[in-house]
A and B are shown apart, each in its own frame.
Chain A
Amino acid sequence: MSAPFSIQCFTCAKCKRLFNASAEQNAMVINNSTGAVVCQGCAEPGNTSSLAPYLQLIQEATMAIPKHVPVKPRDLEAQASQTTRQNQQAAFTEKLEFIDSSKSPAIPIYRVTDGLGKFIDPAQDPGFGKEKSIRIYEAMTQLNIMDRILYDAQRQGRIAFYMTNSGEEGNHVGSAAALEAQDLIYGQYREVGVLMWRGFPLEQFMHQCYGNSKDLGKGKQMPIHYGSQEHNFVMISSPLSTQMPQAVGSAYAFKRQPNNSRVVCVYFGDGGASEGDAHAAFNFAATLDCPIIFFCRNNGYAISTPTTEQYGGDGIAGQGPGYGLHTIRVDGNDLFAVYNATRHARKLALSNKPVLIEAMTYRLGHHSTSDDSTTYRSVDEVQKWGSGDHPIERFKAYLMAKGWWTEQREREWALQVRERVLTAFAASEKIQRAPYHEMFEGVYDKLPAPLRRQRQELDDHLAEFGTHYPLDRHLKKN
């Protein structure tokens, strides 16, 4: 350890003269009213304290200051070139140059088929086969039909609220089909196709929208806040992007399991990507090497806010490399592109390399039943996407070209699905809500005494005033 740096001198705060600390200790005093260290000549008589008690303290404080060692030019270079975790070396430059991101080309959009469902590069064909292809198409169309019926149901006042997935059926089913059943999914709210692909029953979607006693969530949340432990799909919650760092935490927990075979896939939108939680999630995933896929559904709008008002850089994909994430941008309406990208992303994630996929798509429907998008975008724009670049139409073209689907089958299937949805819907509508005591369940693992007292208070109140409450919509309490 080098010799401690010792104080050579004090400077008088008033006259700025230098005094040798050890030799001229008593030449300096502390001026009580200002706290300044001054020489005897500048001190206010009778209003000073000795410096002696503080010399030891100052000595100790300054002992921590390492002796100054001039740095050789070569050392500077070695220090400065040690940068990122990945031990990337940064070279020096003498050119004063700023990166103008508007001049960099945007990250290209990976696609596999054209607008008519034809493979541009046949080598990219994942080779689904007839059965899988039909299953994919049926999932997309079933979602589309269910969305229309439930949207109308809200308009008729039968359910409180609904959000459709129109235009995004391709990115849902394409990504879901590329994942394994054991992979854990965190969603935002517009990923019904993912849950549908996994086998969540139609009736359960209805039960959740009605919030009846068969709803897995027991009617606690608004419609479309789905979830299923059985299907490895974490319950949706309204706050945006909160699921993102949570997904990273789950991925980390999986990584620690011996022979881990699970990845986590977390979905979010172009708007959600602006939240602080998104930044937190990207950063944690990259620094902690988590087996996670970040799937951004860039559908052009966050309610009424277009992406031109959501970010200033190259979308969400443009952020990925900055965090240290493997990144790709894909055509979200090209199911094959979404599938291929997700499949490959899964391999990367399983080797603990987190991935960001930005799927470019378009929200054909309104944000929700509380929104009227004609107030902020043109009907022409919606039609351009709806008829020119619909994921279902593109996949259908492929299916028809293969001879695996016909217009006749289409008509039969549409009727079949409509009937199935309406039947489930009608059955669900009749089921009562859970007993009102359910409202007090699940706050903690066990009902705490104060809450039990509140429940009793409500019981007593309803005993007298029950006729003013919709008790008939609920099952009787036990």
Chain B
Amino acid sequence: MALRNIALLCGRTRGVLATRGAAHFNFQPTEAPKEYGEERTKMNLCQAVNNAMDIAMATDPSAILFGEDVAFGGVFRCSLGLKDKYGSDRVFNTPLCEQGIAGFGIGVAVAGSTAIAEIQFGDYIFPAYDQLVNEAAKYRYRSGGLFECGKLTVRATWGAVGHGALYHSQSPEANFTHTPGIKVVVPRGPTQAKGLLLSCIRDDNPAIFFEPKILYRLAAEEVPTGDFMIPLSKAETVRSGKDVTIVSWGTQVHVSLEAAQLAQEKLGVSVEVIDLQTIQPWDEEHIVQSVKKTGRLIVSHEAPKTSGFGAEIAAAIQERCFLHLESPVARSCGWDTPFPHVYEPFYLPTVWRVFDSIKKTVNF
């Protein structure tokens, strides 16, 4: 690459070097409840995923992990060491073909073996869309329960990473929540990643597990080392409050937590932040109870606003909590554009946009 270009990429204004690589949020670690196990060790999200798969494969001899580049450890190193530990018949590369990976995974599950299928980037899940929506989601329903692929879990990387642009930053969850029959799950940190992934793998329904790639290295905390599962379809209140409810998932939970802290300091507003965790089927009751208490709801996600999952939450909540609402349900989301490269700081629902949303909501 031309030396001039390298300099260009490095940035030509002062301070760029210092801020390059800085994320739009600060990761807020969670302390895992005692029931997940006493023994803990520091893990980042990537290691937590690796640990979950290790445990899944140790406890289920039928479990296999496959996808592009998983054999050497994966492009994000999530499958590091697993091939050496479990053998190349259980951890292997497939040809470069997402529709094949999904279809193959369904077939493995139909035959009664546990399939962990990796899609390298959620942005590339679309060739697999037909298999996931028309086949996996409908297998049990259409066969009167005679055939099903509940042993299938599809893992895909997800969300903004700072420089990913159109095809390495997408949050495609809403494309799947519209399809009855599959489960969609997004963890906010290492503990959740481990516990939720184990739940997805062991759940008797096909599931898509989106892993926020920016959190792979950035998110590290004390994670229980044992075999524990976090239940699906259960939201978690990460910060209690009484004035406004924010519902979010994945990376955006940390953005919301920071905005909540700012709101407390600058506006004296008490914000409750809920991590949805399972996007579909979602824990509607938990959100309803919170909104009945606060009377105000903001949903925040990176995915584009229109037809994002925030739209579903907003519609359901105004149906269930209409008379409790003090202000319209707000959505602080990515704009309705493809995910841009250099405009990322403007595209994302930043701490300041969420803060702005809180301010508008309480002043309605």
Interface residues of A (CB under 8 A from B): 7, 10-11, 13, 30, 32, 35-37, 49, 51, 53-54, 57-58, 61, 184, 215-218, 220-221, 225, 227-229, 234-235, 237, 239, 242, 244-254, 256, 276-277, 279-281, 283-284, 287-288, 441-445, 448-451
Contact = CB atoms under 8 A, between A and B. Distances in A.
24 contacts: A7-B3, A35-B4, A35-B8, A36-B4, A37-B3, A217-B146, A235-B142, A237-B135, A237-B142, A245-B106, A248-B107, A250-B107, A250-B111, A252-B64, A253-B107, A277-B99, A283-B95, A284-B95, A284-B104, A443-B140, A443-B141, A443-B181, A444-B181, A448-B233
A215 B141 contact: no
Interface in B70-101: 89-90, 92, 94-95, 97, 99-100
A253 B108 contact: yes
A288 B110 contact: no
Contacts of B95: 280, 283-284, 287
A57 B113 CA distance: 48
Contacts of A245: 99-100, 102-104, 106-107, 131
A57 B8 CA distance: 12
Contacts of A218: 144
B94 A54 contact: no
B227 interface: no
A221 B138 CA distance: 11
A48 to B, nearest CB: 10
Nearest to B146: A229
B49 interface: no
Given A235-B147, A237-B135, A242-B135, A51 B7 contact: yes
Nearest to B320: A453
Nearest to A220: B142
A449 to B, nearest CB: 7
Contacts of A248: 100, 103-104, 107
Nearest to B283: A449
Nearest to B8: A35
B112 interface: yes
A247 B141 contact: no
Interface of B: 1, 3-4, 6-8, 10, 12-14, 17, 62, 64, 89-90, 92, 94-95, 97, 99-100, 102-113, 115, 127, 130-131, 134-135, 138-148, 150, 180-181, 183, 204-205, 233, 281, 284-285
Contacts, number: 186
B242 to A, nearest CB: 26
Contacts of A234: 110, 147
Contact of B108 (A37, A227, A252, A276): A252
A221 B103 contact: no
B6 A57 contact: yes
A65 to B, nearest CB: 10
Nearest to A444: B205
Max chain B C-beta neighbours (<10 A), residue from A216, A218, A276, A444: A444
Nearest to A445: B204
Contact of A249 (B3, B7, B103): B103
B111 A184 contact: yes
Given A58-B6, A276-B127, A444-B281, A246 B205 contact: no
Contacts of A36: 4, 7-8
Q: Which 3 A-B pairs have the closest CB atoms?
A: A249-B107, A245-B103, A280-B100
Contact of B105 (A35, A249, A441, A451): A249
Nearest to A266: B107
A89 to B, nearest CB: 22
Contacts of A11: 3-4
A10 B148 CA distance: 63
Given A35-B12, A54-B10, A280 B103 contact: yes
A319 B204 CA distance: 38
A225 B141 CA distance: 13
A461 B309 CA distance: 28
A217 B104 contact: no
A49 B12 contact: yes
A281 B103 contact: yes
Nearest to A227: B143
A288 B92 contact: yes
Contacts of A249: 103-111, 115
Contacts of B113: 253, 256
Nearest to A21: B3
Contacts of A276: 99, 127
B233 A246 contact: no
A449 B107 contact: no
